[in-house]
Structure 1
Amino acid sequence: MTPIITVSRRSVQLLRIMVSGIFLAAGFSHLVNVEKTVQRIETASFKGFALFFGNLELLVILSGIVMLLAGISFLIGCKTRWAAIILLLVLIPITITIQMGQITSLGPLFKNIAIAGGLLFFILNDIQTFKK
């Protein structure tokens, strides 16, 4: 028999709000600093991974739009599971392209792993049970 785990509704809301912040900030940054973001990708150790998906400028703009839209949805709790899935799908290639090659500084890599863990919480759990 699976034990019942009780989680505070407020803690779930707070986690959702705090995790969404990184995507809202990054999405905005991608859209207002397209060239700077492209340059960062071009200097990344695993830039070939990003290039596999296509034109870098287009990828930066699309990822910025997706992070903003899914980030807002995640922030307000609308289609939370789908927003978390979309954000995780955006986070994975960014993490591989940018953070995986930074062996001298593992902090950003583990930051993204922690963010992925927060998103996985919302993907794996039935959030409807927290809307009482």
Structure 2
Amino acid sequence: MKLQEKTLEVSYRSVVILRMMLSLIFIVASTSHFFKLEQTVKRIEAANFGFIAHVLGTAEIAVILSVMAMLLAGIALLVGFKTRISAIILMAVLIPITLTIQVGQTATLGPLFKNIAILGGLIFFTLNSNIKLKKQ
């Protein structure tokens, strides 16, 4: 099955609103993880796939690096600066977080599918970084 390239007109406001709302979850999460560093590290250590965080060394290093990436890329996405690069960085952070914390969590699937939906928004900005928007 081959996907055809088609042109789609979208509202300028809708793309800006999507970009802003999507970025806020990363900005809020990064500040929360920063101020609750010890709790975040404990949550990773208790997760079924917590070992994934140790790829970077310790879970604390993984949290600190993810906080910095989420905050900087989240702000860049918020203001529309380098949206493709920002979305790719956020995906690079979101995927390991999802695998570490949400996958293997049998109690609830809500957070897993929340992250999948967020990933969809990031894919949108990765594939459509050169959107030619006309203000209406």
Provide the TM-score with structure 1 as the length reference. 0.94
Counterpart for residue 99 of structure 1: 102
- How much has 1:29 moved relative to structure 2? 1.2
Partner of 1:63: 66
Task: For 1:107 and 1:52, locate their aligned partners in 2 and report how far apart those are by CA, in whole Å.
Answer: 26
Cα distance change, pair 61–2 in 1 and its aligned pair in 2 (3 A): closer
Of 45-54 and 116-125, the range deviating more from structure 2 = 45-54
- Residue 6 of structure 1 is matched in structure 2 by 9
**Structure-2 change in CA distance of 1:2 and 1:82 (3 Å):** closer
Pairwise CA RMSD: 1.4
* Native 8 Å contact 2:83 2:129 kept in 1: no
Find the aligned partners of 2:41 and 2:101 in 1 and give their Cα distance.
11
Aligned AA (2:102): Q
How many Å apart are 1:131 and its aligned residue? 6.0
Q: 1:80 aligns with which of 65, 74, 83?
A: 83
Question: Aligned pair in 2 of structure 1 residues 9, 102: CA closer, same or farther (>3 Å)?
Answer: same
After superposition, residues 1-132 of structure 1 pair within 5 angstroms as: 2-130=5-133
- The answer to whether the 8 A contact 2:48-2:101 is kept is yes
1:61 Cα deviation (Å)? Answer: 1.0
Structure 2 residues without counterparts, runs of 5 or longer = none
Identity of aligned residues (%): 56
- Number of aligned residue pairs: give it: 132
